[in-house]
Structure 1
Amino acid sequence: MKPGEEFSFVNTLGKVDARNGYLPELVIKGKKTIPEYGGGICQVSTTLFRAALNAGLPITERRAHSYIVNYYGKPGLDATIYLPKPDLKFKNDTNNYILLQHYITGTTLYYEIYGTSTGKTAKTIEPVVLESSPDGSMKTVAYREIYEGDAMIKRDSFYSTYRPPNKVTSNPLQ
Structure 2
Amino acid sequence: MISLEKIYSQTYFGTYQTNYNTGNADRTTNLRLATNKINGYILRPGQEFSYNRVVGKRTIDAGYRAAPIYSGGKVVDDIGGGICQVSSTLYNAALLSDLQITSRSNHSFITSYADPGRDATVFYGAIDFKFKNTTKYPIKIVASTQNGIEKISIYGINVDKVTTKVYTQRTSSKEPETKYEDNPELKAGKTKVVQGGSRGYTVNTYKETYVDGVLKEKKIISVDTYKPLTRIIQRGTKK
- Which TM class, normalised by the smaller chain length? 0.7 to 0.9
Paired position in structure 1 for 2:49: 7
Contact 2:65/2:78 (<8 A) preserved: yes
Deviations 1:123-168 (A, max 9, x none): 2332100111122221001111222231414534222110111569
The alpha-carbon distance between structure 1 residues 134 and 154, as it changes in their structure 2 partners (threshold 3 A), is closer
How far off its partner does 1:14 sit?
Answer: 1.7
How far off its partner does 1:55 sit?
Answer: 0.7
Paired position in structure 2 for 1:83: 124
- When normalised by structure 1's length, the TM-score is 0.87
Paired position in structure 2 for 1:145: 208
Identity across aligned pairs (percent)?
Answer: 34
116, 119, 126: which one pairs with 2:160? 119
User: Distance between the aligned counterparts of 2:102 and 2:161, measured in 1?
Assistant: 19
User: Distance between the aligned counterparts of 2:130 and 2:231, measured in 1?
Assistant: 29
Aligned residues: 167
Q: Is residue 2:173 matched to residue 1:110?
A: no
Paired position in structure 1 for 2:225: 161
Paired position in structure 1 for 2:77: 35
Contact 1:141/1:158 (<8 A) preserved: yes
Can you give the 5+ residue segments of structure 1 that lack an aligned partner in the other structure?
Answer: 169-174
How far off its partner does 1:104 sit?
Answer: 2.7
Q: Is residue 2:60 matched to residue 1:18?
A: yes
Can you give the 5+ residue segments of structure 2 that lack an aligned partner in the other structure?
Answer: 1-42, 177-198, 233-239
Larger deviation, residues 124-133 vs 39-48: 124-133
User: Distance between the aligned counterparts of 1:15 and 1:167, measured in 2?
Assistant: 32
